[in-house]
Amino acid sequence: MIAVVLSKGIIVLDSHYYDKTCPQAEDIILKTVRNASIYDPKVPARLLRLFFHDCFIRGCDASVLLDSTTGNKAEKDGPPNISLGSFYVIEDAKAKIEMACPRTVSCADTLAIAARDVVTMSGGPYWKVLKGRKDGKVSKANETINLPSPSFNTTQLIQSFAQRGLGLKDLVALSGGHTLGFSHCSSFSGRLRNFSSTHDVDPNMDQVFAVELKKKCTKPNKDHGAGEFLDSTSSVFDNEYYRRVMGGKGVFGSDQALYGDYRTRWIVESFGGDEKLFFREFVDSMVKLGNVGGSEDGEVRVKCGVVNE
């Protein structure tokens, strides 16, 4: 089916977009993602993060997958994206799709489908991914300054999400993606020492938890691999993240801020108490995020790291 472009240039996506042109695309992606995750348990969290970081810059146009060139430093080499990984999984899936259906399935759609697959594989919900995105031709490292920071307060988070048409509920639901994953010390060490003129440790952090994190994140930090899982069941997609935040054990300042602000606290509590509700709202927000921006004058890249000749 055709993804309709409205007069404003907004692309209307469709879950049946490849039914006739590449019906095997989703199976190929699922198998590739599943195999990669068996060999490297970090793959699910990394692919989900890759999708967020893609959609938040120029919309979901796979601009995050483009490699830097001699004349252009791309998004993937911007400071917040240095720690992104598992690009090879999308490249591998795309190469297999190219053999089955050349120049048909975009890298942007491949990433969106893979992000759904890792959630479902990890015990989370399943949903039909809307498809028909095109791949953008522009990727600039300096635009990664627009990504929300792990040190943001709730007002900054709300503003960042609102710029992409996402509301309070979307902010809290999508933050629940932190149920999968790990953070290096550099993203939260500011909460552990010299936090403010009156507090050495962030007072919103559970003090026993702070002591544990200080042991893992020494100063100076000689272990560059040191850090903390973002929830205690970091390979399972569940609502444990919200329970941790409610107990003062959110790893990022931005996580804990959601519980400290009356505008978002009640949503954190709702999701912490009802996993099915969280799953429903997460799906709704992922579909919304997947509709953000995108490139109506884009292309279907043959290789995800380079624009077509």
Residues with a known catalytic role:
53
DSSP-assigned letters across all residues of the chain: -PPEEPTTSPEEPBTTTTTTT-TTHHHHHHHHHHHHHHH-TTHHHHHHHHHHHHHHHHBSSSGGGPPPBTTB--GGGSGGGTT---HHHHHHHHHHHHHHSTTTS-HHHHHHHHHHHHHHHTT----PPPB---B-S---GGGGGGSPPTT--HHHHHHHHHTTT--HHHHHHHHGGGGS-EEEGGGTGGGTSS-SSS-SS-TTS-HHHHHHHHHHS-SS---TT-EEESSTTTTS-SSHHHHHHHTT--SSHHHHHHHHSHHHHHHHHHHHH-HHHHHHHHHHHHHHHHTSB--TT-B--SSTTS---
The set of residues, in sequence order, having a beta carbon less than 8 Å from that of 236 and lying 6+ positions away, is 122, 123, 179
CB 240 within 8 A of CB 231: yes
Length of the chain: 309
Token match 């943001």: residue? 152
Orientation angle between helical segments 275-290 and 168-175, nearest 10 degrees: 110
Q: Give the Cα separation of 42 and 223 in Å (integer).
A: 19
β-strands 227-229, 11-12: how paired?
unpaired
